[in-house]
Amino acid sequence: MVKLELDQVVMRRMREDDIEIVKALIKEGCEGTENRLILHVLTRPLSLFILAILSSILRCIVHSFILALAIPVFLLIVFLKITMPRSTGVLGTSRPYWDYVGSSYRGTQEETLPNPYTRISGKTPVIKKQRRRIRPKEKEKEMPPEKIDPEREQAAGQVWVADCDGEIVGCVCREMEKRAGIRKICRVVVGCWYRREGLGRLLVQSLEQKEREAGAHRVYAHVPYPSKVGEAFFRKLGYQQLGEGTEREEEEEKLETPERGFLGFPLTKVFYKDV
């Protein structure tokens, strides 16, 4: 684990040059999430009941107990791999993650999130520009920048990266504004070498402060269903799981629902916080 100086972290909007790094960071942070979601769905009582029925039918056809058990499970896993939203394990949003990440660097202005640690320490964080090595052949193959219309840009949401001494060490992703005063955090990822240093908390709380100043009054966060770490993280930040509060939340549950997969099983847990 590398000691991270939080007062030297700059939380800025993702740029075009950051896209591949952020994709790799998200992929690393979500490693194994999809498999855990599939295991969660397979072990539900209704799924087990359906698998038992299919196995009983196949037992009379293939005359092999092992094949009768393995074939339905294999087919269901393939079906879940194909039909499960790719974004559920990546960002927790129904939008394709490639469009979400690929569009969110827009906004060439140097937007940053507030970092309270800089006020405490009195230090001024410095961003070192990353050097990109391009070979002569790669220069010839470079394609012109993709044209992104304002509607797609608005629908893409925002990705904020934590930049420390020119290295991206984490990111927080916010979905598009679907309702006035409501924001939705889709994913919080911290590099494996910088975890348990308070960076994830800093990213979320700084984003909350910015959205509160912009007029938001509630923030939602979707956490992959089997993720106990993600659930504990947001609870420590003051979030509550939807459905554990008052009767008023019944109306909110109709507007903000978890991602669902095979047979309607929930794939994410919804947490909220009033800011």
Other beta carbons less than 10 A from residue 108's beta carbon: 9
Mean pLDDT of 77-95: 62
| 61 within some domain | no
Q: Is residue 60 part of a domain?
A: no
Tokens of 158: 């925002």
Residue 247: what pLDDT? 57
In a domain, 144, yes or no: no
Residue 240, pLDDT > 80, answer yes
The DSSP code for 266 is B
Higher pLDDT, 23 or 274: 274
Q: What is the pLDDT of residue 74?
A: 92
| Residue 175 pLDDT | 81
Give the angle subtended at the CA of 26 by the CAs of 25 and 32, to the nearest 5°: 115
Q: Is 65 within the bounds of a domain?
A: no
Percentage of the chain beyond pLDDT 70 is 72
CATH of the domain at 171: 3.40.630.30
Alpha-carbon distance 233 to 237, whole Å?
7
**Lowest-confidence region among 67-76, 88-97, 99-108, 264-273:** 88-97
114 within a domain of the structure (yes/no): yes
For residue 171, pLDDT over 50 is answered with: yes
Contact of 87 with 95, CB cutoff 8 Å: yes
Q: pTM, whole model, 2 decimals?
A: 0.76
Does residue 71 lie within any of the structural domains?
Answer: no
* Residue 139 belongs to some domain of the structure: no
Domain that holds residue 23: 10-38+88-125+150-274
What pLDDT is attached to residue 165? 84
Residue 49 falls within a domain, yes or no? no
- Average pLDDT rounded to a whole number, residues 29-54: 85
How many domains is the chain partitioned into structurally?
Answer: 1
The model's confidence at residue 232, banded by pLDDT at 50, 70 and 90, is: very high
